[in-house]
Amino acid sequence: MSRVIGVQKIEEEVTLGGKPFRRKKIFNFMIQYLCPIFAAIILISSVANALGWIAM
C-alpha cells in the first residue's frame, strides 16, 4: 500500500483534521519493513500448509 499510494499521502490523510501524527516514524517503519515480512511469513506458511509440509 505504501509503495502504490506513498507514505506522504497517508500522512496527509491522517493529519486532515489538524491533529498531529505523533507516531509517524513507528508507522513508517512498520509499513515499510514489518508488514511485508509478516505478509511473507503468512504466505509461506499457508503454502507450506497446503503442500502438507506443516500441519496447522
Per residue in 2-48, pLDDT tens? 678 888 888 888 899 888 989 999 998 998 899 999 999 999 999 99
Domain boundaries, the chain: 7-51
- pLDDT band of residue 50 (cuts 50, 70, 90) is very high
- pLDDT band of residue 53 (cuts 50, 70, 90) is very high
The set of cell numbers assigned to 24 is: 509517524
Integer Cα distance of 8 and 23 in angstroms = 14
- HSE value, Cβ hemisphere, 13 Å, CA-based, for 9: 6
Integer Cα distance of 26 and 4 in angstroms = 19
* pLDDT over threshold 80, residue 1: no
The set of cell numbers assigned to 2 is: 505504501
